[in-house]
Chain A
Amino acid sequence: MTSAVAALVGNPNAGKTSLFNALTGARQKVGNYPGVTVERKVGPLKLPDGRSIEVIDLPGTYSLDPRSPDEAVTRDVVLGRQAGERVPDAIIAVIDATNLRNHLRFVLELKRLGRPMVVALNMIDLAERDGLTIDVDMLSERLGMPVVPTVAVRRRGLDALAAELAPLLDGAAAGEALPPGEIVGLQREARQLAAAVTLGQGVARRATQNIDRVVLHPVAGPVILAAILFMMFQAVFAWAEAPMTWIEDGIAAIQGWTAARLPDGLLLSLVNDGLLAGVGAVVVFLPQILILFAFIIALEQSGYMVRAAFLMDRLMARVGLNGRAFIPLLSSFACAIPGIMAARTIDEPRDRLTTMLIAPLMTCSARLPVYAVIIAAFIPDRPVGGAFNLQGLVLFGLYAFGVLGALAAAFVLRRTVTKGANQTFLMEMPKYQAPALRDFAIGLWQRAGAFLKRAGTLIMAITVILWVLVAFPQAPEGADGATQIEQSFAGRIGHAIEPIFRPIGFNDEIAIALIPGLAAREVAVAALGTVYAIQGDEAEVEQSLVERLRGAWPLPTALAFLAWYVFAPQCLATLAVAKRETNSWRWPIFMFVYLFAMAYVAAGLTFWVSSALL
């Protein structure tokens, strides 16, 4: 017998995901609904009577009248129309106790479905702090369903909520199904209900308003935003340094261990130069990626992200974008794939398409390994103006270059391919909240896990294929590494495409690395590692890739390579997601062509100008 299913439904900002995390802990499974790219999160919950049930966390929505694929999933699951998902046995409506008027409107809408329901009156502590006293019994009586006060971030009220769920699953207390209500009528009913059950007269959200007075100040606001972003990028480099050294040393130790045990030959080469060198070159950047994710998750969970969108809207509107695009674009700094998927929250199709098309121009974390190696090899590590570091400044410049390129692209796109009227910006600004450690940890775990899964499977496969391309056909006995690379498959492909890239300063090795680098940007580092590790003699193999590149590339080539990576469509996964999200090949092909053109021009200009100057 399959276990019963309860679905969490609620407005965005009701604390739904916190409640889900508190109820199910770290044992949740993240998957996808078939046919759409909406995340399906499910986790187990043990009821007081010993039964184990499944809880589904549905995407946040303001009503059952969807405007995005996420919201459509919530409606379809609740109505039992979602393919592959049974009708939930019970609905847990999560509402914000400090915003009863709006959230009760949705509860009243859900109630008309006539499904077994319980209300989690969440953030009750914040309501009390604001001086609002809510008559829970009266609310329960008037709604005709159990109401349980909860504080998800402090795990308060969870047992009571589970206890109220049990009778619902036994088929009790399903209400009468009514036709969907008209929104204004529901709003007024909700306002009356909220007024009737709210006893204290508090001043809501005073703390949040005080913070906003500073954070949204016309002058201080943008300064704070810029400072946060700048600190984020400095932290990515500074804090990750020590753990990166440990990982590098660890990989080297494993390579030494295998070298001592395996006979010299193809197998050892596959393990050390293919597998370990390839995967190691990527895993070493995990600390940086974790720090980047950590900042983005903390900004999201604290409520600051929407403020950033608010501050940025006017600027984004200049190039025909929506302030809402700020969040998908900021997520794209971690990875364009969640960024493109997050564009689903933009309800205007042209705004959404434009946002998806420029998302790959945001410097994703997969570029970091590439930037990090080139910067470490060619940019001197020296202080600038006391507080900063030249390497950090160059990295910041590359990020800024990507953002400017994205804004320019958006400006042109909105006047050509995605032409249309300017749209709205309408967003709720949630209360500020210190991110709960559990929610932060689970969020970080899930995002880092997704990244590692990609690195662990895709990149492993790619590096092995590349190793084969580089190791075969084998050169005659006694030939040196240079001869081997020259006549390998990889060398031949590199030779074939090199003429395209020669004008912008790229050599054979870069041309070889670009091909596997199409699978994911960071693979280019692994590819360069493999290409150079196999090319050199043993002493050279022991040198790190950084030192190897320093000897092999002229500075203009390195700079052109950096410029290429700011714009280049070097990620098949991004194109695949764009295909899925737009449901056609037209836009991913367009994306590839326009990004390739931008990258070629940018790398070319960089090469020609720096060759002339240096």
Chain B
Amino acid sequence: MTRIDQLAVGVPAIIVSIDRAACGDLVWRRLHEMGFDEGVDIEVLHKAPLGDPIALRVGNTTIALRRAQAALIEADISAVAVREAAE
């Protein structure tokens, strides 16, 4: 399990959990409106100068968010291999 602020650029992963309590309802809902959800494939695409914020591929879209929020989302790198094998 990796917090997505710790993910390296270009490593695909699958979201495992989003910490609703730590996000607060507003941010939690906004994240879902932007396409974040358990089971969605993501990948860090870019990091801004000084490493914050980061740009993520979330499904087919690109979302920018700060590391502080990214740290509340956990993802699984190995799950990508499992999913690819299944397909």
Contact = CB atoms under 8 A, between A and B. Distances in A.
Interface string B34-61: 1101001000011111101101010111
Interface string A455-496: 000000000000000000000000000000000000000000
B45 A222 contact: no
B21 to A, nearest CB: 16
Contact of A218 (B49, B64, B68): B49
Contacts of A424: 27, 30, 65-66, 68-69
A310 B34 contact: no
Nearest to B37: A187
B17 to A, nearest CB: 13
A183 B37 CA distance: 10
Nearest to A11: B33
Given A102-B61, A313-B48, A426 B69 contact: yes
A99 interface: yes
Given A184-B37, A221-B49, A314-B49, A427 B60 contact: no
Nearest to A204: B60
Contact of A425 (B32, B50, B53): B53
Contact of A428 (B29, B32, B34, B66): B34
Interface residues of A, number: 42
Given A187-B32, A310-B64, A425-B64, A347 B46 contact: no
Contact of B35 (A101, A309, A313): A101
A424 B72 CA distance: 12
Contact of A183 (B29, B57, B62): B29
Interface string A243-285: 0000000000000000000000000000000000000000000
A576 to B, nearest CB: 30
B48 A218 contact: yes
A178 interface: no
Chain B interface SS verdict (over half) = mixed
B62 A428 contact: yes
B63 A313 contact: no
Contact of A212 (B37, B55, B63): B55
B60 A99 contact: yes
B46 A216 contact: yes
Contacts of A347: 26, 30
B79 interface: no
Contact of B46 (A62, A67, A205, A212): A212
B48 A216 contact: yes
Contacts of B31: 426
A601 B68 CA distance: 38
Contacts of B47: 218
Contacts of B65: 424-427
Contact of B34 (A102, A205, A219, A422): A102
Chain A interface SS verdict (over half) = helix
Contacts of A221: 48-49
Contact of A188 (B37, B66, B69): B37
A311 B55 CA distance: 11
Contact of B53 (A63, A98, A310): A310
Contacts of B55: 212, 216, 310, 429
Interface in A197-215: 204-205, 208-209, 212-213
Interface string A305-319: 010011101100100
Contacts of A311: 48-49
A212 B43 CA distance: 14
Interface in A36-79: 62-63, 65, 67
Contacts of B33: 62-63, 102, 105, 183
B42 to A, nearest CB: 13
A360 interface: no
A323 interface: yes
A101 B37 CA distance: 11
Contact of B63 (A63, A309, A314, A429): A429
Contacts of A212: 45-46, 55, 62
Nearest to A225: B49
Interface in A280-312: 306, 309-311
Contacts of A209: 45, 57, 62
What 8 pairs between A and B have smallest CB-CB spacing?
A62-B33, A429-B62, A216-B46, A204-B60, A102-B35, A218-B49, A314-B50, A310-B64
18 contacts: A62-B30, A63-B33, A65-B29, A100-B60, A102-B35, A205-B60, A208-B62, A216-B48, A219-B49, A221-B48, A221-B49, A309-B64, A310-B55, A323-B53, A347-B26, A424-B68, A425-B64, A429-B55
Given A65-B29, A102-B59, 10 more contacts: A99-B59, A187-B32, A187-B37, A218-B49, A218-B50, A310-B46, A313-B64, A323-B53, A424-B68, A426-B63
Interface of A: 62-63, 65, 67, 98-102, 105, 183-184, 187-188, 191, 204-205, 208-209, 212-213, 216, 218-219, 221-222, 306, 309-311, 313-314, 317, 323, 347, 422, 424-429
Interface of B: 26-27, 29-35, 37, 40, 45-50, 52-53, 55, 57, 59-66, 68-69
